Amino acid sequence: MKPYTPVFFAAMALLAGCATSSVSTLPEQLDLNRYHAVNVAPVLFTPEITGAIPEAERASLERDFGEALKEGLAPSFQSDEPSTGVVRIEVTITELNSSSPTLNLLTTALLFVPFDAGGIAFEVNFFDGESPDPFAQSNYRHISTPLELKGSFMRYGHATKVLRDWSEELTKRLAGAEPRRAAKSG
C-alpha cells in the first residue's frame, strides 16, 4: 500500500461525515399564487454581525448579497418597487462564516477538496407589497461542506451561492413549481 493511501481514505471518511444536502427554505404552506413579482429589500445584518465586520466590508457584503438574491430571480419576476401583486422580501443575515480561499486552494491542490467551509444563516420576512407587517417568515442555516467546490475560493462565496440558490427556489415557487422537499443530512 502506498504511504498516502491511508491519509486519503481518512480524509474521505471525514468528508463523508460532513456532507449535507441543500434544502428548500420556503415553507410549504407559503402561498405565492397571488404574486407575479418579487421586490428585494436591502439586505440587513443582525447587530452582532454588524459590530464584528468593518463598515466598508459590511456595505460591500450588503450589496453583493442583495445582487445574489436578484440574480437568482428570473428577470420576469423582478420588481424595483413594492406594489400590488408584488411580494417584498426582507433578508436579515443572522450568522456569517467566512472561508479561507488560500487554505482551500492549498487543500484542493493536495487533497483534491477544499477544507475550510463557509456558511450563512438568514431570516426572510415576506410582505404583501408595501404592507408594514410580514405575512410569513422563513429561517435557514447552511454550512458548506468540503464537497462543495463552488464558492470555496472566495471569502463569502458559499454565502453568496446559498442566497442565489434560495432566490432561484423562490422563482420556481412563483412560476408554480412544486416545492422541493427537505433533504436529510447524512
Instruction: Give tens-digit pLDDT for 52-66.
Output: 889 998 999 999 999
Positions in the chain whose pLDDT score sits under 70: 1-25, 98-117, 144-155, 177-186
Checking 3-7 for CB contacts under 8 A at 24+ apart, the result is: none
* Domains of the chain, first to last: 32-174 (3.40.50)
Q: What is the mean pLDDT of the chain?
A: 75
CA-based angle 103:149:169, to the nearest 5? 135
Burial of 24 (0-12, 13-18, 19+ CB in 10 A): buried
Overall pTM > 0.75: no
Rounded distance between C-alpha atoms, residue 33 and residue 55, angstroms: 39
Yes or no: say if 137 and 124 are a contact pair by the CB < 8 Å rule.
Answer: yes
Residue type, 159: A
**Tell me, what DSSP letter sits at residue 114?**
-
